[in-house]
Amino acid sequence: MTEAIRPPASVDALEQLLAAHHYIADRGLAVSLYLALSLERPLFLEGEAGVGKTALAGATAEALGADLIRLQCYEGLDISHAVYEWDYARQLLELRILEATGDLDRTRAHHELYGDAFLIRRPLLQAIDPARTRPAVLLIDEVDRGDEEFEGYLLELLAEFQITIPELGTIRAARRPLVILTSNRTRDVHDALKRRCLYQWIGYPTLDKELAIVRARVPDAPAELARQVAAAVQELRKEPLDKAPGVSETLDWIAALTRLGEPTLQRERAEQTLGVVLKSKDDIDAVTGDRLAAIVQRVRG
């Protein structure tokens, strides 16, 4: 039987566990995660891309000794990719073997062909499989990229934590997984789905928190470089960009400059590596030149 996820003794203990796995959570997020674990409720995380929503699921799974099962949502996602499907190629091969050996009994063949051996478990079924021996953290990533039909299916799943397969019957979770849903707000997710969950908004971090994240995730970066780049990204987020950089871009920029051997942030190198932190030509063109020079000058000062 699946082991239960054992929540830490307190919110402080959970924060320390996450920090030990290089995730720096603010107090509000730690409280929401602790409650999701203690009350066995799904946790809905919303915020801009790159602020650490997906990373939280991975860090939590590592910290609690659970398997991370990820379902990446996209438009047109259906049951065969999210829940289960039958291995039709193997079923057909097995059917031909039975015909060739003259051992074809329709009733028995149907029972065998639609048995566990031919069932392909997709992420949602994997997470609630009662045969699991380890607890699971189910990450339903970027649920806003799916469609309303899939949201409706999630409503049923999150209410009962069971899946009905016509050929096999109803499969129920022996232990509920920790479910974390994320959204980048590319569209509004239906309120009915959010009501099934605890909700937490994750915004861009303060400079102090961003520096703490950098020290945890890129420990070999020069201290002054880390401070200057983190401050520069904070400045870039104030610019009228189409896509403001997230924490993941901060980490990538510092890692890139560290690999290039830069002890501090220099204007020329900042321009050469601007594509690490900004992801569109319009945004790069908007800050290249005097704006970037002014930002570099301020953070170096």
Neighbours of 280 (CB within 10 A): 12
pLDDT in tens, 62-88: 999 999 999 999 999 988 899 999 998
What per-residue confidence (pLDDT) applies to 178?
Answer: 97
pLDDT value at 104 more than 70 = no
What per-residue confidence (pLDDT) applies to 1?
Answer: 58
Say which range, 188-192, 243-247, 253-257, 294-298, has the weakest mean pLDDT.
188-192
pLDDT value at 4 more than 90 = no
What per-residue confidence (pLDDT) applies to 52?
Answer: 93
CA gyration radius, the chain: 24
pLDDT in tens, 10-51: 999 999 999 999 999 999 999 999 999 999 999 999 999 899
pLDDT in tens, 156-210: 899 899 999 988 889 999 999 999 999 999 898 989 999 999 999 999 999 999 9
pTM across the whole model: 0.89
Neighbours of 59 (CB within 10 A): 23
Spell out the residues 6+ positions from residue 166 whose beta carbon is closer than 8 angstroms to its own: none
pLDDT in tens, 106-160: 667 666 788 888 899 999 999 999 988 899 999 999 999 998 889 988 998 998 9
User: How far is Cα 36 from Cα 31, in angstroms, rounded to an integer?
Assistant: 9
Spell out the residues 6+ positions from residue 282 whose beta carbon is closer than 8 angstroms to its own: 242
Q: What are phi and psi of 217, to 5 degrees?
A: -95, -30
Which residue type does 39 have? L
214-233: average pLDDT: 96
For residue 142, give the nearest of 50, 213, 60 by alpha carbon. 50
